[in-house]
A and B are shown apart, each in its own frame.
Chain A
Amino acid sequence: MRKLKAAISYECLTSFKHIWIFYGITFSIVGIIFIIIGISTGDSEVRGTISLEVNSMVYVGILGVLGFKEDFKMLIQNGFTRKYIFIATLSLFAFISSILSLVDTIISRVLHEAMLYDSVFGGLYGFDQPFIMNWLILFLFYMSVCCIMYLGVLTVNRLGKRKSLIIGLGLLMVLALLLPAIFRYVLDDRARSMTVELLLKGLGIMPDGKVALVNPCVLFIALTGVFGFVSYLVIQRTELKA
């Protein structure tokens, strides 16, 4: 357990400083945009729509990739097994996701009160939802993004660039062309509305207009679980590529 603790500490402590660099850059850009808009429109009460959650999602996505690329090498050099590396990496994802979701929740609520900013969460579920649910859903969402990206990079490493590119393009075709085509031309109106309803229900937006925050929690837990488990299976057969 002591070794595992050391690996988790390494993952978390060496990534911690990057969070503040990320927020520093994000808020600098947001600040500059506000100043430019303010100067050009002369309106000091500009309501922002720059989504913190989207920035954080990109950040955790990058973290998911780097979680494999850099830390796997360092930890395997130091004799850690893949099981330990996987647990340490998942702990890093949980650590970073919890901090980002906490900061995003606090900032979005403060800025919303100050009439400067509307978060994606607030836009979807309303601004009167409990703080803890706002944090929890963001946390689970960031965790699932990390796990999806982690599985992606593990797959690329395992299959090689060429095969991964072919699979990636195939997946892109399915998502961007095949599924929309099926949705539009194959499904009838009833099936289409049922699909949309199912997706919205999964996100917690019920047909009667009410919000069920348990649904996105279950959805993101399921995504984290499935992608995390498959990542574990892949990393168990992952070899070092110099």
Chain B
Amino acid sequence: MAGIEIHGVTKRFGDVKALDDVTVTFEPEKIYGFLGRNGAGKSTLINIIANRLFADGGSILIDGTPAAENMGVHDKIFCMSEADLYDDSMRIRDIFKWTGRFYDNFDIDKALEISKKFELDTGKRFKTLSKGYQSIFKLTVALSLNVPYLIFDEPVLGLDANHREMFYDIMLREYAQSPRTIIIATHLIEEVSGMIEDVVLIDSGKILFCEEVEKLMEESYCVAGLSSQVDDYCRGKEVVGTDQLGALKQAYIIGEREKIAGNDSLQFSQVNLQKLFIKLTEKGGESI
């Protein structure tokens, strides 16, 4: 398995360049956090991978097979989308039934079991479900499919904290039983930070980086202290952002942590993924 290989993908919507020469590879059997601000290009890229949109340029290969208009990848990938694409007049159990006919590896018993856990009424029609339960239904379909590549676009939209926790639990259990590539595009970074192995950060249609979360956390830190001392310390380092409060300053740095002898007034701490994400994207990725 070669994963999902994206080479130089570009996409324009009129004057807006939604994706600009995007090149990234989602490797097999890894859990990815696909992060970016609103309008960064996450859903556009996902929709191109899922053959819902066409790229203006570049190519996407799934295990070496072109993804665009190719039934050969049908049973390899499933994308749970934020948009409601199901026939909303259909009952949930009927959609399960049809999904079972469309996909070889859809486990309808698992779908019913997950529905029961979430207390999703399978006798109801899609349109009568609340936004949260519509998301639960879509998650249930995705979690009951044993495909090598599973993409979730804003999976927990409208879900309360308990249901979100349940989803993460089930997803990790499924992953442990049958490892596969899971790509989670979400805004709730802190919630997924504990389960994702790699993070792909996109901003203004460009991939800022694709990095292992652990490595990224090891290589990034925060230094705080008096403004002048922090400025001195940061000289020559890769500063991704700063926060200022009066005479105090906090700087977020990527690189090896270096302590300067005789400067004990500076405080060093670990930076969390969400903070790093905010700092990396607030200037449109200029700091990278």
Contacts and interface: CB of A to CB of B under 8 A. Distances in A.
Are A and B a genuine interacting pair, yes or no?
Answer: yes
A81 B71 contact: yes
B54 A76 contact: no
A78 B87 contact: no
B160 to A, nearest CB: 24
B74 interface: yes
The CB with the most chain A CB atoms within 10 A, among B54, B69, B70, B85, is that of B85
Nearest to A79: B74
A228 to B, nearest CB: 19
A14 B54 CA distance: 29
A3 B74 contact: yes
Contacts of B74: 3, 79-80
A3 B71 contact: yes
A83 B70 CA distance: 9
A78 B51 contact: no
A10 B69 contact: no
A3 B81 CA distance: 21
A28 interface: no
Given A73-B85, A77-B86, A81-B70, A240 B102 contact: no
A237 B101 contact: no
A18 to B, nearest CB: 11
A239 B54 contact: yes
B248 interface: no
A14 B125 CA distance: 14
B98 A76 contact: no
Report, nearest first, the 6 A-B pairs whose CB atoms are least far apart. A77-B85, A242-B83, A240-B52, A73-B85, A6-B101, A78-B102
27 contacts: A3-B71, A3-B102, A6-B98, A6-B102, A9-B101, A10-B98, A14-B90, A73-B85, A74-B85, A76-B51, A76-B85, A77-B79, A77-B86, A78-B102, A78-B103, A79-B50, A79-B77, A79-B78, A79-B103, A81-B51, A82-B69, A83-B69, A239-B52, A239-B53, A239-B54, A240-B52, A242-B85
